[in-house]
Structure 1
Amino acid sequence: MTDRIELTGLRAHGRHGVYDFERANGQEFVVDAVLELDLRPAARSDDVRDTVHYGELAERLVEVITGEPVNLIETLADRLIEVCLTDPRVTGVTVTVHKPEAPVPHAFTDVAVTMCRRRTR
């Protein structure tokens, strides 16, 4: 399957991190999600019900980002993957969580974790 829906640069304020100040102040997280699924039904019908509604997906992902804090962005990425896999049409998903304001004592552009999962049948 080579069909994909890509949602990149989704931004939301979360309170994830291992340090107390990260939980207290929070910071911006940026998420990229790539969903693998067969898009032929949607292309043929021209009906949003035959695909993953990326606006609704974005809302659900933001709920996770702004929701219950976790220590690691690996845990956050795993939770986001679970949201993406709730739609049975999704056969695989890749999620990248960027933490551009991570407490790193050196100049850097980004810290990110990427996780990939395939649906097990």
Structure 2
Amino acid sequence: MADTRDRITLTGLRVRAHHGVFEFEREQGQEFVIDVSVVVDLRAAASDDDLAKTVHYGELAEAVVAAVERDPVDLIETLAERVADVALGFPGTIEAAVTVHKPQAPITVPFADVAVSIVRGRA
């Protein structure tokens, strides 16, 4: 496959979920914000103006939200891996970059954001 830098990016997907190490995080839940960018060769889709030859970003968004909402995990690192796996499951996806933000993380000092970012490619 030719090297490509074409991307589809979703920024700021907001999901209420129950992830975290602490019991109160699991019980009360909190908002997570997800950014996902997938590398896809978009030449065929653009050339033919054909949705079937690209990653449908609406379907990607729904799949990412569903993955974040399901069974709780302790770490946002684990959540990022889950989201990357979902993104890589879309045909044509070469690479997925995922950032999981936890804006209500239980930190005792003032902060603007806590996030974990990963990049994964097809095996």
Q: What are the equivalent positions in structure 2 for 1:20-99 lying under 5 Å apart?
A: 20-99=23-102
1:40 CA displacement: 0.5
- Moved beyond 3 Å, runs of 4+: none
TM-score (norm 1): 0.97
Is the partner of 2:93 in helix, strand or coil?
coil
Among 7, 12, 17, the alignment partner of 1:9 is: 12
**Deviations for 1:50-77, whole angstroms, at most 9, x for unmatched residues?**
1100101111111111111000000000
| Alignment size in residue pairs | 120
**Deviations for 1:25-83, whole angstroms, at most 9, x for unmatched residues?**
00000000010010001101111111100101111111111111000000000000000
TM-score (norm 2): 0.95
Whether the 8 Å CA contact 2:7–2:37 is kept in 1: the answer is yes
Cα RMSD between the aligned structures?
A: 0.7
Among 106, 109, 114, the alignment partner of 1:106 is: 109
1:116 CA displacement: 0.5
1:87 CA displacement: 1.8
Instruction: Name the CA distance, whole Å, in 1 between partners of 2:91 and 2:60.
Output: 14
1:94 CA displacement: 0.5
Instruction: Name the CA distance, whole Å, in 1 between partners of 2:114 and 2:28.
Output: 18
Indicate the larger mover: 86-95 or 3-12: 86-95
